[in-house]
Amino acid sequence: MDALEGRRAIVAGGGRGIGRAIALAFAAEGADVAVVGRSSDTLSAVAQEIRAAGRSAVAAPQDLTQVSEIPDLFDRLADELGGFDILVNSAGVQITGPSTEVTEEQWDTTFDANLKSMFFACQAAGRRFIDQGRGKIINLASTFSFVGFPEFAAYCSSKGGVALLTKTLAAEWASSGVNVNAIAPTAVRTEMNAYLLDDPDFLDAFLPKVPAGRVGDPSDVAGAAVFLAGPGSDFVHGHLLLVDGGYTAV
């Protein structure tokens, strides 16, 4: 254990679901963690769990789609943590429905949350990491960064953008000691997609496509994040690590 001893991380979307699991896994491995998101109650609960594990924690309620506020937010969190060298971009939305019915507002909401805010968070962290000569950025992509899925037009498009954003920043910043990678999970049971995973018709159609025979758990993704945040991935740049039970292998 303690693979992240002495490291300090900001986890965007750290109040629930995959982000929460990653934040707690980082703390278990020795990192101090700031969790960012919209719900102060959930963030405070996660921060309390991190402190109970013996690590420092900061809860920072913030709407990250207000991208002009991200640099000041990261500066403040760096002051509170004593710096930071890991950023996880796990915040996002999933709006589904027939492509013929997608509205401009739904499209913009999806891209603002899943791609635009991610880029400006990467930019703010990247400036700091380039100056200090090291840093790890982990973006949450998706299996739908690689394959399409009916009624997920905006979501799939935004996650495809995450894949190429990750590769582009890795190519640009690797020589400065900054690792930019992504994790691409398949369906993972979280509050965001419970409406799908509690639908027997959806599961009957989806699970036969997953060789592992189950949907993912946030802990499955957290293990991948610990690897990408730690020293074992120092020569890994621009990689999209599939955590998909074999979904894209068949």
Task: Catalogue the active-site residues.
Answer: 155
Residue 231 in 3-state DSSP? helix
How far is CA 133 from each of CA 126, 161, 249, rounded to the nearest angstrom?
A: 10, 26, 36
Structure tokens, 28: 């278990």
Contact (Cβ atoms closer than 8 angstroms) between residue 181 and residue 233: yes
Dihedral angle computed from the Cα positions of residues 98, 104, 107 and 108, in that order, rounded to the nearest 10 degrees:
-170
Residue 35 in 3-state DSSP? strand
Residue recorded with tokens 């945040």: 229
How far is CA 132 from each of CA 10, 126, 169, 226, 233, rounded to the nearest angstrom?
A: 16, 10, 17, 21, 18
CA atoms within 13 A on the CB side of 131: 8
Dihedral angle computed from the Cα positions of residues 38, 75, 159 and 164, in that order, rounded to the nearest 10 degrees:
180
* Pairs from 194-197 (Cβ < 8 Å, separation ≥ 24): 196/96
